[in-house]
Amino acid sequence: MAASAGLIALPAWADAWTAETLPARLSVFSSTEQDLLAAVADTIIPPGNSIGALSVGVDKFLVALFDRCYEEEVQDNLKKQLGALNALAQSTHGKSFTVCDQEQRKKMLLSFADSGEKDKSEFFELVKRETIRGFSTSKEVMVNYHNYKVAPGHYYGCVDVNS
């Protein structure tokens, strides 16, 4: 009886839905932290003459990766260091890290890398490593620059084999 009621109610809630109307997955990172993470990725791999980290979606990759694949203590350190990075930008340049220019962001990130503090240097190494991994394994880079083919060659199912 419950199954019948569920089948009757199904068209009422499943009518005309699209991917845009579905609720977004909640992240442990706030929108400000996600913007900061995107700015860090953009600093590590800027657009240059062709593509950069943001144009292939590395910012979304990083948020999903850190949300789903890393422990809470790593996520907490990421949040803490993103806040510290933004605070450094505010105190040094009087503006958010996200609106600083490329050179200013680069210097601030390198100061974290060269920092004697374990949390800051681990933050930099983790974000740098995962940004590079996200960029180098993106579809656009793999297909357009490394000529990756999912199934190279043609498959011939029935062929005579000389034994």
> Does a structural domain hold residue 115?
yes
Domain span at residue 85 reads 26-144
Task: List the one residue out of 96, 119, 98, 104 whose CA is nearest residue 41.
Answer: 98
Q: Are 67 and 24 within 8 A, CB to CB?
A: no
> Does a structural domain hold residue 162?
no
> Does a structural domain hold residue 18?
no
> Does a structural domain hold residue 13?
no
> Does a structural domain hold residue 54?
yes
> Does a structural domain hold residue 7?
no
- Per-residue pLDDT reduced to its tens digit, 56-112: 999 999 999 999 999 999 999 999 999 999 999 999 999 999 999 999 999 999 999
> Does a structural domain hold residue 97?
yes
Number of structural domains (the chain) is 1
pTM of the full predicted structure?
0.76
* CB-CB neighbours of 34 under 10 Å: 18
